[in-house]
Amino acid sequence: MSHYKPYPAYKDSGVEWLGQVPQSWTVSRLGFESWVRARLGWKGLKADEYVDEGVAFLSTPDIKGVEINFVDVNFISEERYEESPEIKISVGDILLAKDGSTLGTVNVVRNLPRAATVNSSIAVITPFEALDSLYLFYLFKGAYLENTIQVLKGGMGVPHLFQRDINKFKIPVPSHAEQVVIAAHLDRETARIDALVEKKTRFIELLREKRQALITHAVTKGLNPTVKMKDSGVDWLGTVPEHWEALQLRRVVSAVKTGGTPSEEQPSSDIIDGLAWYTPGDFGNGLVLTTSEKRVSDLAVSSGEAKVYPAGSVLVVSIGATLGKVGFISESCSANQQINAVIPNSRVHGYFLVYSLLVKTEAMWFLANAATIGIMNQEKTKDIWLAVPPVAEQEAIAIYLDQESSRIDTLHRRTELSISLLKERRSALITAAITGQIDLRERV
C-alpha cells in the first residue's frame, strides 16, 4: 500500500471503529443516506407455492458469489411479488443478509436480468442520490462495517440485524465524485486480485489431481515404466506389473476391526496419559495420524473397554460423508465406531497400504452397503481389491511417494499462503479506500 498517498488533512470521525477521516468528508447515518427495508414474512409462503417460471426469489446463497445468481433460484408468482412492492429489486440496490451465520453477506445489483425480490433473511438498501451504490457496497465489504456487524452479532443468541440497527450504521461520506472514483478503482483492483486468486485456486486443483494421479499410478503400475504388464482381472485396477498380485484386502491383513467408545471411562481432551482416540474429525490432509482431540485413559485400556490397535495399522473412516479417509498410525491407538482399523500381515507394508487405500475412496463408496449414508463394515472393507508387489518394492514405492507428495504439498502450501496474502491485500485495500486512509482522486 506504500505507493498510495494519504489525504492532505484529517479529522476525528467521532466513531471508534472508524478513527480519522479526510478533512473534507462527513460522517452520516446509513438511514439518512439510503432507504433500508426488509420483509418479515410472506403471509405464510410455502415451498409448494414456488413456480417453474416467474419472479426470482433470492435467498442468502444466491447473493454469496461474485455475481448475484438469478438463474438457479426459486421463483414465485407475479401475484406474490406484487404483495411486497417495497422490496422489488432495482439496479443499484445493496442486498444484505441480516440473519444467522451468514449475517453480513452482501452484494450489489449491477444488472437485473429479470424481475426479482428477496426472502425475509435479506435487507434491501437503496442509496439516495448523494450516495453511490458501488461505494456503499464496498463500505459493507470493508473491515469497518464488518467490525460493526460483528459487535452487534456478538451480543445476540441468534444473530439478527434489525432495520433500526442497519439505519444507525455510521458511514464515512466523501463527495459523490470521490465515491465514484473510489468505487471504480476498487472494482479494477479487486477484479485483478480476484483473477489471480482464481488462477492460483485452479493451480491447487491441478496439484491435487497430479498428486492423486501420481499415487494411483505408483500403487497400481509401479515405478518401472518398462516392466511387463498383465491384466489384473479387476476393472478399477486394470493392468498391473506381471510379477504383482491382485488380491482382496482380506488376503493381506491379519484383521479388520471396528472402533468403539468406552462407556465407563469416556474419552476426553483432558486426559494426558493413555492412548490417542481417533474420530473422523482428526483426519486431516496428512497421511500419518499424529494428533487426536481426545484420548482414552489407561484404565479404559486395561479393562478392555477401549479397543487398541498396533502401530503400523491403517485407520479408515467407514461411515458418512468422509468415508474413505485414511491414516497411518506409527504408535498404538484407539478409535471410535466410525473407524475401521486395518491391521496388515507380513504380505503388505502398512505405509504402502495407506497409499493404496488413499486412491480407493470411489471403490469404497461403491462397496458401501447403504443408499443414503455410506457404510463400510468389516466384510466390505475386506472386499477391496489391491495391487500387491513384493514387500521390498512396496517400501520403495512408499519412499518415492513420500518424496514426490512432499514436493507437491510444499507447492500447495505456498500457493495457499499466496492466496491468503492476496485476500488480505484485497481486504486492506478496500478498508483503506472507503475510510480515506488513501487518496485515490488522482487515479481516475
DSSP code string of 202-266: HHHHHHHHHHHHHHHHHHHH-S-TTS-EEE-S-TTT-EEETT-EEEEGGGSEEEEEE----SSS-
**pLDDT given for residue 365 in this prediction:** 58
| Radius of gyration of the chain, Cα coordinates, nearest whole angstrom | 29
What is the Cα–Cα distance from 133 to 224, expressed in whole angstroms? 62
Q: Beta-carbon neighbour count of residue 113 at 10 Å?
A: 9
Please state which CATH class domain 28-171 belongs to.
alpha beta
Distance CA 340, CA 100 (A): 37
CATH homologous superfamily for 223-388?
A: DNA methylase specificity domains (3.90.220.20)
pLDDT of residue 175: 96
**What is the reported pLDDT for 112?**
95
* pTM listed for this prediction: 0.81
* Average pLDDT of adjacent 10-residue blocks, the chain of 444 residues: 87 90 96 88 77 93 93 92 91 92 90 93 95 96 79 65 88 96 96 96 96 93 95 90 95 93 89 91 86 92 90 91 88 94 94 89 57 72 92 96 94 97 95 94 72
Res 133: pLDDT: 96
Neighbours of 114 (CB within 10 A): 13
CA separation for the pair 217, 223 (Å, rounded): 8
d(CA 219, CA 223) in angstroms, rounded, equals 9
Q: Which residues pair with 55 in a beta bridge?
A: 76
Query: What does the pLDDT read at residue 158?
Result: 62
**For the chain, what's the residue count?**
444
Strand partners, 256: 342
In whole angstroms, give the CA distance from residue 325 to residue 280. Answer: 8
pLDDT for res 334: 95
Cβ atoms 57, 39 nearer than 8 A? no
How far apart are alpha carbons 290 and 267 in whole angstroms? 17
| One fold for 28-171 and 223-388 | yes
> What residues does each domain of the chain span?
1-25+174-221+392-444, 28-171, 223-388
